[in-house]
């Protein structure tokens, strides 16, 4: 007799979801997962701000990129797995809550990583999150025979890399940077290795929504960090920070507009899907770094930092430039609007030059405002049949990338 789904044992109930499932949207559990990651993002941005304000720029940037990799990679793997296999049963909820607990452990270790270079707590929290995903992948292997090989490849690959992270804790300090790069490379190669026999049934629109929601979360952190920094200055009686606050808000609004200006599509080709998904590391990290940079600029205006005006200006300009370049690569370049590409690249160049003059934050805000106008014009012109070029397609007929 064939068992119904409800009669299956718990480890066989995780079947793949339909990639064309209608009305698929983020679940309350996914939103709760994102909310708990806010703590880790806030810790990373706040400690970057503190370290840069103290003048430890190279050290701060390196440690920030490592910390944010752990945050982003754990979030991304949960997101793509949930898009394909979210059964919302009791076991799945428990493994997700374990991942949330790991995220909170990771967040608690961020200050020590910045001040002392001690990544032990972050590593433990990260490994807790990743080991919980192994349970999910084993369940997927048992419940989805069509993708069993893929799921087992994921489980095995994740396990091996986690052993590497734990062994890294015993290495001398001189090896930590090199070992991090090696293990981070191993992490990002696991999906490319695992998905090769056949891609898991993730939902394209659901993935786009999830990435958009996390972008909003990181933008919210920029607003929070900027607001707290400016409030501190105003409480101290510095009313000159109002214009800086206005410029910071304009930057946040522009970053939001540029990301959500047009609907996005994700290719169902593995290489292009990975490029789009991985590229968001720079989107998320740069947005959070903009908040830290604005806080550094506030400290400089209050003579409460150990960095020059040039450094404070670049603390905002560099992450903004990275954001615009990455957004162009992920969302803009496939629209076949050469003049919009020129506008993006000119904006990047000018943004990197404005710290050499006065009021860099205000000028960055103006440049982003001009870029927003350019994107709006490109969208309106694109509605004309004569101005619309056909989107390139892959061998499967799907779009070659985000558009």
194 neighbors 81 (Cβ within 8 angstroms): no
Residue boundaries of the structural domains of the chain: 10-194, 204-383
Closest CA to 261 of 402, 152, 95: 402
The answer, as to whether pTM is greater than 0.95, is no
pLDDT (tens digit per residue) in 22-80: 888 888 999 999 988 888 898 898 899 888 988 888 888 999 999 999 999 999 999 99
- pLDDT category, 299, cuts 50, 70, 90? confident
Question: What is the 8-class DSSP label of residue 18?
Answer: P
* Alpha-carbon span 248 to 97, nearest angstrom: 35
Question: Which pLDDT score, from 0 to 100, does residue 238 have?
Answer: 66
Is-contact 333 341, C-beta < 8 A? yes
Angle ∠(101,323,285) on CA atoms, nearest 5? 20
Structure tokens at 297: 């600029």
Contact 117, 123 (CB under 8 A): no
Q: Is residue 36 a contact partner of residue 103, using CB atoms and an 8 Å limit?
A: yes
For tokens 């190669």, the residue is 189
DSSP letter (8 states) at residue 396: T
**Residue 197 DSSP class:** T
pLDDT given at position 36: 86
User: What does the alpha-carbon distance between residue 166 and residue 202 come to, in Å, rounded to a whole number?
Assistant: 30
As a whole number, the mean pLDDT across the chain is 85
Residue ranges in 109-147 assigned as alpha helix (H): 110-116, 120-143
Share of the chain above pLDDT 90, in %: 49
Element (H, E) at 242: helix 241-260
Average pLDDT over residues 335-351: 87
More reliable by pLDDT, 14 or 254: 254
Q: What is the pLDDT of residue 3?
A: 40
| Range of lowest pLDDT (94-98, 103-107, 266-270, 322-326) | 266-270
Two tokens, residue 397: 């007929």
Residue 87 has phi, psi (to 5 degrees) of -95, -15
Question: Does 18 score more than 90 pLDDT?
Answer: no
179 contact partners, CB below 8 Å, separation of at least 6: 164, 168, 171
């Amino acid at each position: 007799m064939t068992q119904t789904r409800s009669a299956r044992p718990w480890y066989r109930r995780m079947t793949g979801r339909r990639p064309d499932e209608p009305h698929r949207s983020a679940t309350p559990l996914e939103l709760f997962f994102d909310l708990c990651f806010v703590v880790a993002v806030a810790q990373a941005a706040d400690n970057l701000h503190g370290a840069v304000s103290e003048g430890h720029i190279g050290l701060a940037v390196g440690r920030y990129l490592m910390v944010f990799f752990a945050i982003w990679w754990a979030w991304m793997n949960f997101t793509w797995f949930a898009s394909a296999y979210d059964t919302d049963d009791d076991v799945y909820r428990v493994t997700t809550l374990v991942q949330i607990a790991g995220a909170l452990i990771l967040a608690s270790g961020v200050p020590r990583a910045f001040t002392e270079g001690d990544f032990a707590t972050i590593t433990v929290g990260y490994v807790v999150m990743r080991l919980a995903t192994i349970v999910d992948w084993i369940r997927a292997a048992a419940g989805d025979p069509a993708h069993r090989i893929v799921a087992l490849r994921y489980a095995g690959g994740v396990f091996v890399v986690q052993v590497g992270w734990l062994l890294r804790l015993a290495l001398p300090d001189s090896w930590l940077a090199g070992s991090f790069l090696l293990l981070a490379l191993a992490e990002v190669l696991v999906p490319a290795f695992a998905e090769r026999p056949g891609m898991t049934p993730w939902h394209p629109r659901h993935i786009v929504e999830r990435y958009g929601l996390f972008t909003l979360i990181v933008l919210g952190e920029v607003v929070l960090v900027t607001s707290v920094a400016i409030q501190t200055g105003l409480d101290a009686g510095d009313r000159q920070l109002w214009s800086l606050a206005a410029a910071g808000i304009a930057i946040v609004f522009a970053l939001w507009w540029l990301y959500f200006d047009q609907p996005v599509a994700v290719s169902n080709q593995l290489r292009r899907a990975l490029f789009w998904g991985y590229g968001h590391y720079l989107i998320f990290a740069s947005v959070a770094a903009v908040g830290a940079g604005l806080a550094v600029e506030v400290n400089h205006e209050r003579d409460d930092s150990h960095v020059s005006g040039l450094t404070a200006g670049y603390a905002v300009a560099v992450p903004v430039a990275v954001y615009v370049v990455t957004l162009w690569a992920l969302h803009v370049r496939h629209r076949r609007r050469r003049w919009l590409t020129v506008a993006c690249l000119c904006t990047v160049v000018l943004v990197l030059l404005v710290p050499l003059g006065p009021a860099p934050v205000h000028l960055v805000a103006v440049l982003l405002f001009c870029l927003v106008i350019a994107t709006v014009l490109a969208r309106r012109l694109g509605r004309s049949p004569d101005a619309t070029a056909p989107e390139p397609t892959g061998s499967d007929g799907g779009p070659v990338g985000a558009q």
